[in-house]
Structure 1
Amino acid sequence: MPMWSQIIFRSLGALVVLFVMARLLGKKQISQLTFFEYILGITLGELAGFISTDMEAHYSHGLIALAVWFAVPFTLEYLSMKSLRLRHLLEGRGRVVIKEGKVMEDNLKKEHLTTDELMEQLRGKNAFNLADVEFAVMETSGELSVLMKKEKQPLTPSDMNMPKVHEVEPQIVIMDGKMMNEPLATAGLSPGWLATELEKIGVTVDNVFLGQVDAYQQLYVDLYDDKLQVPAPQGKALLLANLKKLEADLELYAVSTQDAEAKAMYTRTSASLAQVISDLKPMLQC
């Protein structure tokens, strides 16, 4: 067998083995590298390159080395899930670098973190003013977790006593010009509904690169032809307008009727609907 073909065979074999090992070690090995995992990644890469190009070495010996370097961290990862002490030994633990708005200089030195690096990390978390930070922790992954002071945190619906709404996951109903029937059914919609909505905005399925339906059954589309302007979804606005019209109709009925009982009923229903509109308005106007 020619040498070039042997290199191809050995490289493909090493690639498959590394892929299987990475899948077994889990996604954490990719997203959050600890010191041990960093060393592991470098070593496995070196070993894979070695067994791919070193024609004098026996291929099985390289595979055995890969297996050892896989088995040890795989076993330690399993044991660390059972032992907090071992987990701290292998992965370390987060260290507080800012507490109650004050920088912990000793902890900065232990993390080998300069003031410039600390400010860079803070800016990455949109914390440009050190005085706005209440608490910050350097995590084992090297990421800085930041808690802003209460008065500097973004306003939430609970702060404004707004009612909480259960958000439904948006569904991709058109992809690459093709209708997706399963997401449509998940959203409780039919292909006929989608065809009608597309007809309203004057586009065809073939010209839609991506189409998404939100919790209010509003259709957002991105077209292949970026020069075409698509009207913004009006589902929320139409719902709010219909509710207001219904409220006005009830008030009109209350004024028009001569029956005292019916007048009281219309007035009461109109007041209830007005409260519903008041509760829903922040969500329907966003």
Structure 2
Amino acid sequence: MNGHLIIIFRSIVTYFVLLSFTRVMGRKQISQLTYFDYIVGITIGSIAGESAVNNNVKISDILISISIWSLLTILISEITLKNIKLRLLIDSEPLLIIDKGKVIYKNMKKARYNMGDLLMQLRNKDVFYITDVEIAVLEPDGKLSVLKKVEQTAVTVGDMNIKKSKTGMMVDIVLDGNILSSHLSLIQKDEKWVMSQLKARNIDNIKDVIFAGVQPDEQIYIVTKYS
């Protein structure tokens, strides 16, 4: 059989095998995939890709391999439905990242989740100030679930006819123990001012500071290694 025809045949067989097992294993949105789902998907996809183009590998061997991976995935899914401890071990558990406006750094460290990721995901939720957050939870699929404080969601300042406070972006001034000098010019401050603000909060070593930012109302938000 012509080499190209063999590849076409193997690709078609692999396609329908993958389609069949995917339907059996269940469906999830890409954004809902856990690390376990992601690894399984990548591995099975790699096996299928190898079978489509590598004539040195028997297609029967590839089908057996895909079958074993798929059946193991189905088996583990069934077991984890009934065993919460095993489910948490495989998929990990949600982690509380912000509690009442305070960042819990030890949980961020456990998830290898940095301040840049946190601030980006908060902005994606239209949250620009950490102090506006009641609770933020990092889900097993990597998404951040955010509950704003009641005063930030109940009514608008227009509803109450209240003068609106100054708005804008939080300016990062310290990140991972380093002063961001280029950002200080945005708020017309210098490094000496930063150190004095830290000292006023009993922080003597800047290397203990994971993040510090200045809000438009000039409040300073600080996250330390001991948060």
TM-score between the two structures when normalised by the length of structure 1? 0.53
| Alpha-carbon distance, 1:28 to partner | 2.1
> Partner letter of residue 96 of structure 1?
L
Partner of 1:87: 87
Distance 2:8 2:154 in 1: 55
Once residues 15 and 31 of structure 1 are traced to their aligned partners in structure 2, the CA distance between those partners, rounded to angstroms, is: 23
Which residue does the alignment assign to 2:54? 54
Pairwise CA RMSD:
1.5
Could you say if the C-alpha distance between residues 29 and 43 of structure 1 is closer, same or farther in structure 2, counting changes exceeding 3 Å? farther
Unaligned runs of at least 5 residues, structure 2: 156-227
Q: What is the 5 A alignment of 1:152-191?
A: 152-155=152-155
Q: How many residues align?
A: 156
Structure-1 residue corresponding to 2:134: 134
**CA apart distance, 1:114:** 1.3
Q: Which whole-Å CA distance do the structure 1 matches of 2:101 and 2:56 have between them?
A: 60
Aligned mates of 1:31, 1:10 — CA distance in 2: 30
Question: Does the alignment pair 1:116 with 2:78?
Answer: no
Q: Which residue of 2 aligns with 1:76?
A: 76
Deviation at 1:129, TM superposition (A): 1.3
How far off is 1:31 after superposition? 4.1
CA distance in 1, matches of 2:56, 2:39: 26
- Aligned to 1:28, what secondary structure does the other structure show? coil
Which position in structure 1 is the counterpart of 2:65?
A: 65
CA contact (8 A) 1:99 1:136 kept: yes
- Corresponding residue SS for 2:147: strand
More helix by share: 1
Provide the rounded CA distance (Å) in 1 between the counterparts of 2:70 and 2:31. 18
Q: Give the ranges of 4+ consecutive aligned residues of structure 1 lying more than 4 Å apart after TM superposition.
A: none
- 1:90 aligned counterpart, secondary structure: helix
User: Pairwise mapping of residues 1-286 of structure 1 onto structure 2 (< 5 A)?
Assistant: 1-28=1-28, 30-155=30-155
Alpha-carbon distance change, 135 to 81 in structure 1, aligned in 2, over 3 angstroms: same
Q: Residue type matched to 1:24 in 2?
A: V
Post-superposition shift, 1:27? 1.7
> Taking structure 1 as reference, are residues 130 and 28 closer, same or farther at Cα in structure 2, changes over 3 Å only?
same
Does the aligned pair in 2 maintain the 1:29–1:37 contact within 8 Å?
no
- Gap regions ≥5 residues in structure 1: 156-286
Supply the distance in 1 between the matched residues of 2:129 and 2:82 (Cα, whole angstroms): 40
AA aligned to 1:118 is L
Identity %: 39
Distance change (3 Å), C-alpha of 1:52 and 1:58? same
Question: What letter corresponds to residue 61 of structure 2 in structure 1?
Answer: H
Q: 1:21 to 1:31 in 2, by over 3 A?
A: farther
Task: State the structure with bigger RCO (CA 8 A, min sep 6), 1 or 2.
Answer: 2
Structure 1 residues 86, 29: closer, same or farther in 2, change over 3 A?
farther
Measured after TM superposition, the shift of residue 29 of structure 1 is 6.4
SS at match of 2:13: helix
| SS of 1:80 mapped into structure 2 | helix
Task: Give the letter for the 1:88 counterpart.
Answer: L
Corresponding residue SS for 2:55:
coil
Q: Residue type matched to 1:12 in 2?
A: I
Report the CA distance between 1:154 and its aligned residue.
4.8
1:33 Cα shift?
1.6
Q: For the Cα contact (< 8 Å) 1:47–1:66, is it kept in 2?
A: yes
Code of the residue aligned with 2:124 in structure 1: it is: G
**Higher-Rg member (1/2):** 1
